[in-house]
Structure formats: structure tokens, C-alpha cells
Copies of this chain bind each other. A is one copy, B any other.
């Protein structure tokens, strides 16, 4: 077979964010795998609510169906919280991986408790709800915000880095966490610096997403089509 091809979709339409993601993946691209990073043509420039997630998901879903036709072997949804993930898994037979679920899958093997650091405080309950829907018990995680919106993070990544470092230093002591998951695709690429500063393993979710997606492809696995992710019946759409 030809080269393995993975499509990374940044659900927001902010090209700066897409570039940050692509750059963070670069040094961790699996050998012999082509990774393309795109965003949908349409949709909100930032995702900071459930409402935005729904808006973006519809466009992500269309892009995913197209990607399978284009011959991609796997899809990564690269926004923290994995917007639209269940619908995406229904629509194609190739594996679809959310960067958040991939990060947690790895984090739980590497620590008893991991710390998710997110952007704004309002992101905290959204992330907690997603974590609970994945069935992760309370003792295995904590979530802390740095107090910036995603757009704020994108416009000044160096301030974001300092805020992450400061907040994590306090949170690690208070919570006994042993590993950090960077809970915002806007943080991507800051891992090396932060790891040096905090002396603790850090997961960059976009890297986790690509690596886990490739693992599934190499194993010949994808989401089960038996029930939850069965291909949707075709309905008239007004």
C-alpha cells in the first residue's frame, strides 16, 4: 500500500491556530506518514462554547466525509474537547480520533492523577463534563484554567506560556498531579519549554491525536460500526 495519510482538522477557521497545530505536530510526525492540517472553509473563527462546537461540527463532518473519499487513512479532530467527535466516528470507516480522548488514554497510563490546564475559567465545566462522559473517575484528574480566552492565547502565546507555568506550579502542589495535559490547541508547541521549566511530563494533545490515530491505522482498527458509530441512515434533509 502507499504512504499512510492522516488529515488533522482544526475545527475553528483561524489560520493562525491551524499553523500552530501543524508546527507542533511536525517534530512528532510518525515515520512514513503524511500529515495534512486543515480547517473547514466555513464556521466560527474561535470555539469557546457548546454553541460554537455545534456550528463547527457540521462543517467538520462534511470535511471528514470528503477526506475519506480523498483517500486519507485516518482523521484527527484538533480542538480541545473533541467537538463533533461521535458524529464524525459515525460518518466514515477510517479511524477518527479526538485529541482530548487520545491524550487522556495516554495520560492514565503514565500517572495516577493528571492535570488539565485550560484557557478560560468557563472552559472548566465543559471539560469536566466531557471527562465524565468518557468515564474517567474523579481521583484521576484535575482541571485548572489560566484565565485567558482562546483568542487571547493565540494573540500572545508567550504570556500564555508564563500563565501556564505559574498556574501549573501552584496546581501541581495543591492536587498531587503527576503529568500535565495542555487543554487547548492554542497551547500546542509550548511543551518543550514548559517541560523544562516544570520538570514533569507534558502531553501536547495534537501530537497525541496524530500518534494514536496512526497506531489505530497500523493495527487495522477503527471505531466499531456495530452500534454506537453505525453509519447513519440517509434521511431527507430540508
Contact = CB atoms under 8 A, between A and B. Distances in A.
Interface string A1-16: 0000000000001000
Contacts of A122: 227-228, 230
Interface stretch (A43-51, A153-161, A162-170, A182-190): A43-51
A226 B211 contact: no
A12 B157 CA distance: 43
Interface string A115-157: 0000001101110110011111111100000000100000000
A176 B91 CA distance: 21
For the side of the interface on A, what is the size category?
Answer: 35 or more
Contacts of A30: 218
Interface of A: 13, 28, 30-32, 41-46, 48-55, 57-58, 61, 84, 86-87, 89-91, 95, 97, 101-102, 105-106, 108-113, 121-122, 124-126, 128-129, 132-140, 149, 176, 178-179, 200-201, 203, 207-208, 211-212, 214-216, 218-224, 226-230, 232-233, 235-238
